[in-house]
A and B are shown apart, each in its own frame.
Chain A
Amino acid sequence: MVRNLVTGEIESHGADAVVLCTGGYANVFYLSTNAMASNVSATYRAYKKGAFFANPCYTQIHPTCIPVHGTYQSKLTLMSESLRNDGRVWVPKTPGDKRPPDQIPEPERDYYLEEKYPSFGNLVPRDVASRNAKAQCDMGKGVGETGFAVYLDFADAIQRDGKEVIRQKYGNLFQMYEKITASNPYETPMMIYPASHYVMGGLWVDYNLMSTLDGLFVMGEANFSDHGANRLGASALMQGLADGYFIIPYTIGGYLSGTGRPEITTDHPAFKEAVHYVTERTRKLLSINGKRTVDDFHRELGHILWEYCGMSRNDEGLLKARKMIQELREEFWNNAVVPGSSQDFNQSLERAGRVADFLEFAELLVMDAFERKESCGGHFNEAYQTQEHEALRDDENFCHVAAWEYKGDDTDPELHKEPLVFENVELTQRSYK
């Protein structure tokens, strides 16, 4: 079932197999590096029809993004990971030091990544770089107007290689940064802060990329496979190519040839039911007629998740977040305002449907985070960390995929555990010292 975004018409399409390539749900945080239209609707609706949703709590926060600067902000722009090859990350040593960066002498700068991880330095993995930036800012050492930013400084690289070499490597990024911030990174250090960027969780699929619903295939970021708990740089592109070029052309053929394909037309009662559900939901959204815009709800949802289910999580915060999400959802259905009609091009309605799905899905994300009593990749629970504040896994009890099965709106979903089996490698604690 799809809604034609231009005419508002609800269209039914029957197929022997369906492939979802609908991307990830990082926009559940409202601010993310994703495009504005990215949403969870397709995968979440599939989940509500019986497809298992796996590892929703594995969300990646990317360390090098342009910081937030106002409540009106609609997105966070990613500055490429590659910048950390040459840029040095630092903050002032003294909390509250508000001097401009060029007036802070070398001995009063804290190159905290180089200090803490001498062998990897500024190139530590994303989750480590992000959590450390947050830790520095939480200590009051953050820079910029908001205090939620750290410097990424190219002065040494420019001195070493010359401006021209740096321009050839990063010219387009520097230009983009200057356009957005009106500050020249050749002269002044960039300011960066972590932002929600990618989600490792998604619909559960088997090795043929088929979900737990027969004939429903899921590719790319929309599925949960390939990246475990923490995606590495450039591997989303790899997954797109692998799923699209090398896997699905073969496995979907295998599925189609091995199934008796009953003749089902769009007259089937399931189609009628779905049309009724969608029409009813649309009518409801348009008739709430409340006092708060959909974006305002989305913004608040983002705040809740960023605060309690972002880079660093704890049980108390997660319980609180779950309650807050439930309350916000309740308010949404009573106080949102969605203008326009269902019969034409209505961007407000489009957004309202997506935010309504985010408001349900967010609870699943928080529940998954609460259930995983360890720290692993994109999920960091403060209660489980080493003495050096690194993520502490519990391979005895949590070496599994958490796949959630929908059981109804008023019932908690059921957790299925798929054990992770490692035949050739031994699990160890990582170290970037």
Chain B
Amino acid sequence: MTKSINITLKVWRQKGSHVNGGFETYPVTDISTDMSFLEMIDVVNEQLTLEGKDPIAFDHDCREGICGMCGAVINGRAHGPEKGTTLCQLHMRHFSNGDTIVIEPWRAKAFPIVKDLVVNRSAFDQIILAGGYISVNTGGAPDANSIPIAQEIAELAMDAAACIGCGACVAACPNASAMLFTGAKISQLALLPQGKPEAASRALAMVRKMDALCFGNCSNERECEAECPKEISISNIARLNREFIKAGLVSSVR
């Protein structure tokens, strides 16, 4: 049943990447518990706009948990307290009247802050550009079932492909590592026959790019897996390591 709560927000405000930011406090009243977290910020922004203040910048788009645009650290947790949930799918019914909610952007060297809660995640795009694709000529469509793929493999590839590239794994990791993201992308392709021809060059190029972009390394904290809204398994990181070692030791690719 719908009810309303009053909360206090402590929001990270920062005008741009080259100026210092800080927390601002906003008392917020009469928030319906049926609202999504982002709708709550919409309401705050409407008020700020009418008061002649600068609204809180935040990224968002589909608002149904499938696009990967939204995300912020809520009370120290990427995408907030609910498991397997993007910020847009977090609802205010998970908070109580009188709560203080701290909202921060993803913090990582590779993700410079654009404004307030908006960070530049183009480092992820660069990792993909380094090899997160297959270069086949699409040509004519092949007949269905011409390349049989076992159900189990298809499921594993699909689970890895569920990654929406939101960056929560990086934000949650004490090393700001992008291993879960890169592992998911490498796995998705390495598991399937279409991805195999380029598997070695892909693994080497994507891992090198990831390192070059200042993402940290994996030290098995498993924070990424715990916070991933798509519940991507860290077994994908293990697969990344295997693909990387295989490529480095036995392939002819350098």
Contact B85 A36 (CB under 8 A): no
Known: A339-B53, A348-B49. 11 other contacts (CB 8 A): A73-B39, A74-B36, A179-B82, A179-B89, A182-B93, A293-B46, A295-B46, A339-B49, A344-B15, A344-B115, A348-B55
Would you give 5 A-B contacts (Cβ < 8 Å), ordered by A?
Answer: A70-B2, A75-B64, A182-B93, A344-B15, A348-B49
Contact B55 A339 (CB under 8 A): yes
The B interface, classified by DSSP as helix, strand, loop or mixed, is loop
Q: Which A residues are in CB contact (< 8 Å) with B61?
A: 35-37
Contact A36 B60 (CB under 8 A): yes
Q: Which A residues are in CB contact (< 8 Å) with B82?
A: 179
Contact B63 A339 (CB under 8 A): no
Q: Which A residues are in CB contact (< 8 Å) with B50?
A: 291, 293, 337
Please tell me which one of the listed residues B15, B16, B63, B115 contacts residue A35 in the complex, with CB atoms under 8 A apart: B63
Given A36-B61, A69-B2, A145-B2, CB of A345 within 8 Å of CB of B118: yes
Q: Does A207 reach chain B (CB closer than 8 Å)?
A: no
| Cα A422 to Cα B148 with chains together (Å) | 41
Contact A179 B85 (CB under 8 A): yes
- Write out, one digit per residue, whether chain B residues 34-76 have a CB within 8 A of any chain A CB (1) or not (0): 1110110011001001101111010011111101000000000
The A interface, classified by DSSP as helix, strand, loop or mixed, is loop
Give the tally of cross-chain contacts (CB within 8 A): 76
Given A35-B67, A337-B50, CB of A70 within 8 Å of CB of B114: no
Q: Which B residues are in CB contact (< 8 Å) with A72?
A: 32, 35, 39, 42-43
Contact B57 A296 (CB under 8 A): no
| Cα A37 to Cα B57 with chains together (Å) | 14
Contact B43 A339 (CB under 8 A): no
Contact B85 A296 (CB under 8 A): no
Q: Does B91 reach chain A (CB closer than 8 Å)?
A: yes
Q: Which B residues are in CB contact (< 8 Å) with A337?
A: 49-50, 52
Q: Which B residues are in CB contact (< 8 Å) with A180?
A: 36, 89, 91
Instruction: Please list the residues of chain B having a beta carbon within 8 angstroms of any beta carbon in chain A.
Output: 2, 15-16, 32, 34-36, 38-39, 42-43, 46, 49-50, 52-55, 57, 60-65, 67, 82, 85, 89, 91, 93, 114-115, 118, 120, 138
Nearest 7 interchain pairs by C-beta? A35-B62, A35-B61, A345-B115, A75-B63, A77-B64, A293-B49, A37-B61
Chain A residue, CB-CB nearest to B49: A293
Contact A339 B35 (CB under 8 A): no
Q: Which A residues are in CB contact (< 8 Å) with B52?
A: 337, 339
| Cα A180 to Cα B92 with chains together (Å) | 10
| Cα A336 to Cα B210 with chains together (Å) | 44
Contact B91 A179 (CB under 8 A): yes
| Cα A216 to Cα B115 with chains together (Å) | 35
